Structure 1
Amino acid sequence: MIHRKLIAPLLLGLALMSGAGSAQAQQPIRMVVPFAAGGGTDQYVRLLASELAKKGTQIIVENKPGASGIVAADYVARSRPDGLTVLVSSLGTLANNTVLYDKLPYDPKKDFAPVTQIGYQPAIIVGRTDLPYKNIKELVSYAKANPGKINRGSPGEAILTNLAPLSFEKTQGFSTTHVPFNGDAPAVQALLSNTIDIHGTSLTGSLSLIQAGKLRVLGVMDSKRLPQVPDAPTFKEQGYDFEAVLWYSLSVPSGTPADSIRRLNKAVNEVIAQPDFVTRARAMGMEPRGGTPEELAKFVQTEFERWVPMLKSLNLPKQSH
């Protein structure tokens, strides 16, 4: 039996604990993007954050570019596993960095727990409109006849929009000079200022410039053309059986409570299933895709098994971050 003199303090303590729990639940979630602001991934994540906020899940988008996602991944891996810090993860941070860098400050398989996929899109190659080649087939011919003349940009060493073109170049017997950037936005600016000639990217970060006639899509790494740029040919149409799809997901530090993961998974999947959200995402070149944490874990493993052996076969020099 609890003495009456203890009831009031006990109730007060319970109230304070409840208040603290409510306050913690109301804290905004930091969604960490490993690229510079303004790029395609950043635009999509900000659209997602805006829609989540309307549903009561407050999101702060933080950009932490650098070292092919290592800066952002390390930051999230070291964060408290309280469900309030989330990494916008991809093939680079969860798989490819293990091949490209001699030592990572994080372990992609041990330091993160999966939440959900959020979207995907095929990789593309864009170029300036004044180039002497207008598609991938012409680019290959030009590159072979003019070694060292093409500067190719990418959002980072470990990003698929660098590695897929690199793999393609090896299979076709030519090479370009790779110039990595900390995201799509600075690379596109370099493209417009003639610092680079072509850029491996996604449709999201360059769509407005393509539609304005300032950039041209040389090839789409998918089995079908993109509805947003119906005149842009696929690699397959040009005689190359080559596909590469960029995907984006959410990961949290290992040890994050399952309830926190389930809440975020539910909130995100509800938003990306909304018809209006799908329409807006597709307008920027992104295809929303969600799923369970278990499905994401299986998908990441499949992608790891596909791309990591291929990267090892390229015998690329190890980078230091």
Structure 2
Amino acid sequence: MLAAAAVHAQSTRLVVPYNAGGATDAYARQLADEMGKRGVQTIVENKPGASGMIAADYVARSKPDGLTLFIGSNSTLVNNVVLFAKMPYDPFKDFVPVSHFGYQPMLLIARSNAPFATVAEYVAYARANPGKINRASVGAGSITNLCAVLLDRAAGITTTHVPYTGEAPLIQAMLSDQLDVYVGSATQAVAHIQSGKFRALAVFDQMRMEQFPGVPTLKESGYDIDALAWFGFVAPAGTPPAVVDRLGRVMSEILTSDSFTAKAARMGWIRRSGTPQEFGRFVQKEYKLWGPLIKDLGLAKSM
């Protein structure tokens, strides 16, 4: 018991702001396994809730020794800053970037027995039944909600937003017909789409997905909306630069390997790599892009 506790204490922790079993959690566990193969013993901890702020605050307050990393995203590192009037952490002051690690194109997914099978039918049904469609996401500040809000706005429709703390419980609600649609990744949906339980209506990207060549992009469906869920690692502010650089090099080795690239693709991810400095510049760029848009949508500081 004591030996196990000692190993656990020295392990690098990847803190995921969603429930176990979701797409981000699954990808994080693959990365943790690869890190372990390269001498960085790593475990995954799940701390869902509050649009990722519980997990983010936990890591921001952790010891800056490189042993606690936060898996940040559009939501937690960019969108929450604009969405929430009060936050327990500041993503630009409380963290240092470590590495970008990938993104997922978003899919508009419906239950197979929903009264619509295409984007055009979805929009027509929503216009005829304002607010009747129950649309899920993994949080108000997540890209899974924001890109759906963009579609609502572009199409002139109203749907009822139902937030969840992760994709796994969301999918269970879809399977039990408590929900009509959600925007999410292919990772957790692929088996249900292939089995016919779910129906993919469109891809929020500029190109179709390899796994679903028959599913059109949203642009092909008449709406020029491009939205990706990107993710990367950050560490508590004050983490020594040498430690950050070492972790960044390990991640770069993993993310540029052919074997991991193929594995990521099978999970519905498109891997990305880069230095800590490059990831930091990317986050700043995303903030400048999405911040004004969230304000324009009337969502800023509304929660």
| TM-score bin (small chain) | over 0.9
Tell me, yes or no, if structure 1 residue 67 matches structure 2 residue 67: no
On the 8 A contact 2:82/2:300 being kept in 1, the answer is: no
Once the two structures are superposed, residues 59-81 of structure 1 have per-residue CA deviations (whole angstroms, 9 ceiling, x without a partner) of 11000000110000000000011
Secondary structure of 1:47's aligned partner: helix
On the 8 A contact 2:51/2:75 being kept in 1, the answer is: yes
| Aligned pairs, number | 297
Superposed displacement of residue 171, structure 1: 2.1
Superposed displacement of residue 317, structure 1: 7.0
Once the two structures are superposed, residues 270-314 of structure 1 have per-residue CA deviations (whole angstroms, 9 ceiling, x without a partner) of 112111111111001001111011111111111101111111112
- The one of 124, 134, 150 equivalent to 1:167 is 150
Secondary structure of 1:316's aligned partner: coil
Tell me, yes or no, if structure 1 residue 41 matches structure 2 residue 20: no
**Cα distance change on mapping 1:317 and 1:304 into 2, 3 Å:** closer
Aligned mates of 2:226, 2:63 — CA distance in 1: 38
Tell me, yes or no, if structure 1 residue 274 matches structure 2 residue 257: yes
Tell me, yes or no, if structure 1 residue 260 matches structure 2 residue 243: yes
Q: How does 1:95-174 map to 2 (within 5 A)?
A: 95-174=78-157
State the partner residue of 2:3. none
Secondary structure of 2:188's aligned partner: coil
TM-score with structure 2 setting the length: 0.95
Superposed displacement of residue 316, structure 1: 2.4
Between the two proteins, what is the percent identity of the paired residues? 48
State the partner residue of 1:12. none
Once superposed, which parts of structure 1, at least 4 consecutive aligned residues long, lie more than 6 Å away? none
Aligned mates of 1:254, 1:188 — CA distance in 2: 35
Q: How does 1:1-321 map to 2 (within 5 A)?
A: 27-316=10-299, 318=301, 320=303
Letter of the 1:209 partner, please give it. Answer: H
On the 8 A contact 1:123/1:200 being kept in 2, the answer is: yes
Aligned mates of 1:212, 1:147 — CA distance in 2: 30
Superposed displacement of residue 139, structure 1: 0.7
Letter of the 2:57 partner, please give it. Answer: D
Aligned mates of 2:302, 2:45 — CA distance in 1: 25
Superposed displacement of residue 243, structure 1: 0.6
On the 8 A contact 1:168/1:242 being kept in 2, the answer is: yes
Aligned mates of 2:278, 2:162 — CA distance in 1: 34
Aligned mates of 1:277, 1:169 — CA distance in 2: 36
On the 8 A contact 1:80/1:253 being kept in 2, the answer is: yes
On the 8 A contact 1:40/1:206 being kept in 2, the answer is: no
TM-score with structure 1 setting the length: 0.90
Aligned mates of 2:27, 2:196 — CA distance in 1: 23
Aligned mates of 1:132, 1:200 — CA distance in 2: 17
Aligned mates of 1:43, 1:319 — CA distance in 2: 32
State the partner residue of 1:18. none
Secondary structure of 1:196's aligned partner: coil
For the aligned residue pairs, the C-alpha RMSD in angstroms reads 1.4
The structure that has the greater radius of gyration is 1
Unaligned 5+ runs, structure 2: 1-5
Aligned mates of 1:53, 1:108 — CA distance in 2: 27
